[in-house]
Structure 1
Amino acid sequence: MTVDAHVHLWDPDLHDHDWLRSTNGLNRRFGLDDLVAAAGTVPAVAVQAGQSAAEARWLLGLAARSPQLAGVVVHGDLGDATVVDMIDALRAEVGGPTLVGLRDPVGGGARLGQTQVRRSLAALGERGLAVDLLLGEGTLGVAYEAARDLPQVRFVVDHAAISAVDVRSGGLAEWAAQLALLGGLPNVVCKLSGFGKATAEPGGVSLDEVVRVALDVFGPYRLMFGSDWPVSTLWSPYEDVLSAMTRVMGGLTADEAVAVWGGTAVGVYGLDPARSLIDKRMPIQEAEG
């Protein structure tokens, strides 16, 4: 079973997303019907795109109404002492069982050494929730220290931290060396996602090179496929992302392929495979709010 471990859904008419205003082609509604049109009925994990509790409730409401969403990674401010209370409250609301993780992109991971951030991370680990890391330039080191010091927390490195080093400027070896530190920690897994800018724009590296590094660093059993749809449509339609990843993964054994295409995501996020296989003919109903 394939699980797309990284998609986004948003509606600018319902929730404010400042970054969308300057992104041609993305500043419109992308809902579950759009995802089905692009990807079919593959189960997916929806990852936050905004920073409001209202968006989190909206995503959880969608997940409660459709088995298309196997899980939701919500936004939370790790530097806020009340963030875990917010997560506990969300888990008790509609769609709460589908809340499988948290992502705090503020600072691009630079705050991971802060005391309150560490406390929040530890509390999330106690609750069995995963923490997605969207790492910016120069933050692989602090991410490694946080994951090393908090072995009880499951960390998911989004997009293989491809933006932490400018691989398009000859930094592929530097990125690989820094990523290897994280790869040495058993509580860290990595998403094969979000490579469009690094691989499709002028001066980019090949997808084969990027995936080869990820395989060397993490091995296939700690990797998971994610399309990063609809952000990925800036460079390629969904079917092209899928076919490109299928091509570069062609040398995997059957067991390794099962892990990358869904097994790792199910295990790390604690997804319910049975729920993901519920009758997908169920009509999609998108809740507002």
Structure 2
Amino acid sequence: MSNPEVIDAHHHVWTADYPWLASKPEFEPIRRDYGVDDLRANLKEAGVDRTVLVEAGWGHPSETVEFLHLAGAVDEIAGVVGHIDLLDPHLTTTLSRYAGHPRARFLVGLRDQIQDRPDPDFLTGPEVVTALKAVAKAVPTFDLIVRVDQLPAAAKAAAAVPELTFVLDHLGKPQVREGDAGLKAWREAVAPLAKQPNATAKLSGLVTEADWQRWTPADLRPFVQAALELFGPDRLMFGSDWPVCELAATYTRVKEALTEVLGRTDPDVFGGTAARTYQLGEL
């Protein structure tokens, strides 16, 4: 009997000229080109079969177009979560551009950098809900990259657009470094979203919300356990958040830490949920 397929539901590739890499001095260690060769080396070492490539903050449809070409050329990349601006007056045109791409079959979701929007209630705006309904007609999922204070609005958006699957990136960025206080604030904020049947979440990005130099799997455990209680393993998926994770840990270390916290390589968390949610099909 073959081993279950392992899928990384969240990683990036980028070049050193992405503006956000120069926005803070602490990003300097990852301010370089990360390409397919780097990705493949990490996948081989960590024992990962396929991946979902997520927009990396360039903020323009051209990145998504490039990533769709890349997915068609790289067997390991099973799908792409592309960029969308929910307030873009030309959103319909952008969606049509994506749909007309010769490798549009690889577009499994879209994402707006909502974490950078100051309004905690951004996702409840009527124009945003209308945009999300348009997204639902184009792709199966919408990735939520949000702060903890934006989680209540995310729950309302999920309720307003039940035809769209909402994927919570990085568990909503809980403040792991704050310990019990961070856990309490996050759990209260994320619980309403977890109650929505069209919401799933990624066990990703946690090491960079912890102390980069001193984190241990024990620091992550309360957050992972709470996520299991709230979402269940069939609505959770492993994501490396590579190369961002390199600020705090190697790709392999991230996977090992999650395996240690879970006590095993759960077949849903490490593959099944991602395959179902992003409709990735068979290997």
TM-score category by the smaller chain? 0.7 to 0.9
Map 1:127-146 to 2 at 5 A: 127-146=138-157
Map 1:129-278 to 2 at 5 A: 129-163=140-174, 168=178, 170-201=181-212, 206-250=219-263, 257-274=266-283
Judge conservation of contact 1:80–1:116 (CA < 8 Å) in 2.
no
Which residue of 39, 43, 50 corresponds with 1:43? 50
Q: 1:46: how far off? A: 0.6
Q: 1:203: how far off? A: 8.8
Aligned partner letter, 1:225: F
Aligned partner letter, 1:10: W
Which residue of 23, 28, 42 corresponds with 1:24? 28
Aligned partner letter, 1:17: Y
Identity level (%): 35
Aligned partner letter, 1:185: Q
Judge conservation of contact 2:177–2:210 (CA < 8 Å) in 1.
no
Q: 1:58: how far off? A: 1.2
Judge conservation of contact 1:157–1:190 (CA < 8 Å) in 2.
yes
Judge conservation of contact 1:64–1:94 (CA < 8 Å) in 2.
no
Distance in 2, matches of 1:183 and 1:231, equals 25
Any idea what the Cα deviations from partners look like across 1:84-124, whole Å, max 9, x if unmatched?
A: 33122123213211011110014176421122211111112
Give runs of ≥4 in structure 1 deviating > 3 Å.
200-205
Aligned partner letter, 1:230: P
Aligned partner letter, 2:21: L
Instruction: Provide structure 2 residue ranges, at least 5 long, that are not aligned to the other structure.
Output: none
Aligned partner letter, 1:260: V
Aligned partner letter, 2:277: V
Q: 1:202: how far off? A: 7.3
SS at match of 2:146: coil
Partner residue, 1:284: none
Instruction: Provide structure 1 residue ranges, at least 5 long, that are not aligned to the other structure.
Output: 275-289
Structure 2 residue 127 is matched with structure 1 residue 116: yes
Aligned partner letter, 1:269: Y
Residue 218 to residue 260, structure 1, CA distance change in 2 (3 Å): same
Give TM-score scaled by structure 2 length.
Answer: 0.88
Q: How many residues align?
A: 266
Judge conservation of contact 1:193–1:225 (CA < 8 Å) in 2.
yes
Q: 1:200: how far off? A: 3.3
